[in-house]
Structure 1
Amino acid sequence: MVPEEPPPHLRVADDLRRRLAAGEWAVGDKLPSRAQLAAHYRVGANVMQKAQERLIIEGLLEGRAGSGTYVRVPRERQRLVHSSHREQRGTSPFLAAMVELGLHGTWDAHSQARTVAPDPIAHRLRITPGDPCVRTDYEFLADGQPAQTATSWEPMAITGGTAVLLPEMGPMAGKGVIERMRSIGVTVAKAVEVPRPSRATQAQANLLGISLGDLVLVIERTYYDTDGRPVETADIVVPDVRWEVAYEYGIEHDAR
């Protein structure tokens, strides 16, 4: 099978990114006009605009109204800490992380009830393939810029008929899995995360403002109750170009 050709604006963005990395333009330099670049790459103005907008989202370029496009001071790659204390604050772990970084964290979410989980998800949740779940797709933003995505699955055998059926609606909207489950009498005892490096799919790249094939970290997270039953599982996708993920854990000491 012949690999699918990336869209023209991605090819242009990739070459501009290469030229920036090679130092063809220094920080603060003004790029040639959009018309000049479009002529160089033999593409239309719309393609050139989309390519530059992608690099602006990535933090490599900045547009100045009435002036042009300039090379921006590179964004600092920030650390996203996963820790047990964030899981116990009664809010979203992402929101807690953003507060600690001094960033404004927001998210968009779309839930679908009575969704059949794929076999790998059913296996992670220890349910029968075909059992209904609630699937929720998240897009997380930090100061308005794409930060990460997540797809969450919860068995309707646990949340069906309760006020927390849809994670982002009702009285517990935005409270996080632990607090929502506690409100219906389910105590989350632990979370297990399995990080795996991967390459961005086209859909992931579009949502995160990165390029097809860019390095991402996919974190498979599952919450378990006190009986060891999985109550939620999610795949979290973090763009490597913007974030490094660190794990923080406490050390227990015997009282002697």
Structure 2
Amino acid sequence: MADSTPAGYQRVADAFRERITDGTWPPGHRLPSRAQLGAEFGGGENVIRKAQETLIAEGLLEGRPGAGTYVRAPRTRLHMQRCPAPGTPPVPLAPPGISTWDAHSTAKTPAPADIAARLDIAAGEPCVRTEYEFLDTARQPVMTAISWEPMAITGGTVVVLPDGGPLAGRSVIDRMAHLDITVTRAAERPRAVQVDRDQAQKLGVPAGTLAILIERTFFDATDRPVETADLLVPADRWDIDYNIPLTAPPA
């Protein structure tokens, strides 16, 4: 018979969770040192550390480098609308709830094999790679994106860099329209992932945090891919809404 007794760190994590839930430890409360917690809850430093890491991954605690571990204040969930209904404006570059964002573009970046397949170009063809970081109204990171555009389409034009030129900061749809290219559809593939250390640092979350990765590709009127991007959003911050138009069956 399997042993149903919870591991030491799980028992301590349950006790921490109860104190947060009942308000004994309110938002912003700084936890005592690991030595103090170990003496109170019974467990070595490794047990306390793992219990804290468990609750950090759940979004209940947050570690502040050099300052200790604190009860995390509840954050308002943000809503990202995908597939807008007919007649509504296209999806903006930044969804509601974003107060500011930063972008950094690098031209002549060789397309990796997976990106090249999504853009229907040869691996290694030059692209403009743009990294985006989005902040909420509290200026906390809540989303990142990495975009790829073939330079065969935008190279030598004033819109070659998404973060530069007369249309800097405008959507892919607007920038392609400047080149008389009409974006007619977008294909998206969302999937659950755990963020790696580099992604975690940019999003301000622990490594291994659950997130949603949206692989999005824009197509023009000839069904040619003109841009592809990976949008990464922490699962505990976002609700992703899909509004899918349906065609009525013939009478």
How far apart, in 2, do the equivalents of 1:121 and 1:134 lie?
12
**Unaligned segments of structure 1, at least 5 residues:** 1-13
Residue 250 of structure 1 and its aligned partner are, at CA, apart by 2.6
Q: Which residue does 2:132 correspond to in 1?
A: 138
1:93 and 2:114 matched: no
Residue 88 of structure 1 and its aligned partner are, at CA, apart by 7.0
1:176 and 2:171 matched: yes
Q: Which residue does 1:199 correspond to in 2?
A: 194
1:166 and 2:166 matched: no
1:71-100 deviation line (CA, Å, top 9, x unaligned): 45522433322123599747x6243x31xx
- Change in CA separation of 1:168 and 1:87 when aligned onto 2, cut-off 3 Å: farther
How many aligned residue pairs are there?
222
Q: Which residue does 1:82 correspond to in 2?
A: 82
Q: Which residue does 2:149 correspond to in 1?
A: 154
How far apart, in 2, do the equivalents of 1:125 and 1:23 lie?
49
1:222 and 2:233 matched: no
| CA contact 1:28–1:72 (8 Å) conserved in 2 | no
**Residue identity in the other structure for 1:171:** P
Structure with more of its chain in helix, by fraction: 1
**Unaligned segments of structure 2, at least 5 residues:** 1-8, 39-43
Q: Which residue does 2:180 correspond to in 1?
A: 185
Matched residue SS, 2:18:
coil
**Residue identity in the other structure for 1:230:** P
| CA contact 1:87–1:178 (8 Å) conserved in 2 | no
| CA contact 2:153–2:226 (8 Å) conserved in 1 | yes
| CA contact 2:93–2:170 (8 Å) conserved in 1 | no
The alignment-based identity, stated in percent, is 41
How far apart, in 1, do the equivalents of 2:24 and 2:106 lie?
46
How far apart, in 1, do the equivalents of 2:63 and 2:159 lie?
42
Larger Rg: 2
| CA contact 1:81–1:248 (8 Å) conserved in 2 | yes
Matched residue SS, 1:241:
coil
